[in-house]
Structure 1
Amino acid sequence: MPTFAEIETSKDGGVPILLVIVTHLGKRYRYCIHETSITFDGEVYEKVALQVSDIKKTAILKSDDITVTLPRTVEVAQLIFPTVTQHPIRIEVRQTHEGASDAPLLFWGRVVTGGLTKDRNSVTLTAKDLFFQREKANSRRKFQPGCQLLLYGHKCRANVARSMVYTKGQVIAGALYIDVTDQGTAGTSFRGRNLAVTEQRQFLVGSSIVIGDKRYETERAPTPSATAAMPRRFRFHVSASDVSEISAFYASVPAGDNVAIIIPNCERTLTCCDEIHRNHLNFGGQPSIPYENPVGKINT
């Protein structure tokens, strides 16, 4: 096991390599800023004329928006030009070094705008940080009150099959509605939480939905749409084209087979790790660290 001093200095060894992963409809495009293409963790990262704007983090791990510029000739550029995709695009930026076995996460976000540069030789993607699933990428990332591990990553060890929620969905008036069910409980209770309280349902923010054999990314926090018969009903916001696709799928299956699987996000707390993901033994934070240090200043 490495010593504290080794952890503090290990990030300085070797030539730095920036890894950029673009995800669209479950497919990952991998690029790197390095002298040559590389293989990391069993995956090939293509060397391209890639530029990433400065990544600035705040004390709560949230980053400012970043811009990624790629040659127009790379495959991922087809998502922007000549036709812009209607499905969410995710960008993940990690940094590693030659000879290193880990690659801490610098940025994880969703593309909000994209287009060609003035010379029309490159495409730019502007991404907004989704800090709910961030893993803090500095030398002290293992010593934070909240968990900083990437959800469902190899260090987090949360199991998607154990965390996911099997439920029913339906499309009404062009919108997707899902009842976050919990068999054996009544009212708004779900895995010990009262979903009528905003703070108790933050794990739904940034969640994904699996319907049929496709996975859909939510665009923003679900909207409570409870009825007397369905007290845990929420409207999940996906793109209009996704809603049309889901509606067509539900119409093609027998009645009662309108299954929707929710893959929940995480609040980075020990409570959420235990209640929602049943993974408290692998919690990556130090919840006993006080919010204020002995001299009265906030720990960040």
Structure 2
Amino acid sequence: MTYASREASTDASSPVELYEFRRGGTAWRYTSGAQDASYATYAYVAVPMKRGSIEQTGEIGRAGLRITLARDVEIAQAFIATPPSEVTLLTIYRQHRNDPETVAVWMGRVLNVEWRGSEVELNCEPVYTSLQRTGLRRLYQRNCPHVLYGTSCQASAVIYRVPGTVVSVAGVLLSVPSAAGYATGHFAGGFATWAANGITEKRMIVAHNLDVITLSAVPPGLAVGDTIYLYPGCDRTLATCAAKFGNSANFGGFPFIPTKNPFGGSPIY
């Protein structure tokens, strides 16, 4: 029998759902069935879990999905303090016992996690919500609107990053000796990256003074002696773009906008 015929059958159906979570190059795979399952050579571990209904609505932003698991499931551990820096993708597959045909019934990402006693609830949104993003983002403004180190900025993150070794960690404060050789605030507005359990974590740098780096949130998995990469920040002005990055050719702002409004009430422009 085909998947469609078993899905519509009143007595031959035996549905099993497979949940694949991905973050960077790491994946976690679970099944809501009573026994472990396999699909595409991957093993899916059976864990107690439940989900809300998958709905087809006219409003994409409201077609979210909530998944409830035991709070000790590994996928939820990265959300205990703050959400991980990389997006956690989720794909839900559905199949029937002893049937090789498997279909993907839902795709999206995990937004956040809510802790409820012995359980944890994952709040997810479908991939279609990306269609709601603003298409035209450029404005007539003095400062540059480009994402730092992005495709429009074209400044090389690899060239300007500074490697270092963490000598102390105290909440959001780090001591990185290699940062002391740069002017105060050189890395403010940039970000720091490091490897933790095979995943590249990232946090924004909100302040920099000598060897002290202040992050926007507690760095998960970062310990004394770890290697860290510091990426300089940018205040989006033409002067900084030229002096700090030598990248004025790709400056996206309009720094020479007249300060006086030609359509104002003054008869003299």
TM-score (structure 1 length as normaliser): 0.42
Q: Which has the larger radius of gyration?
A: 2
Q: Flag the structure with higher strand content.
A: 2
TM-score (structure 2 length as normaliser): 0.47
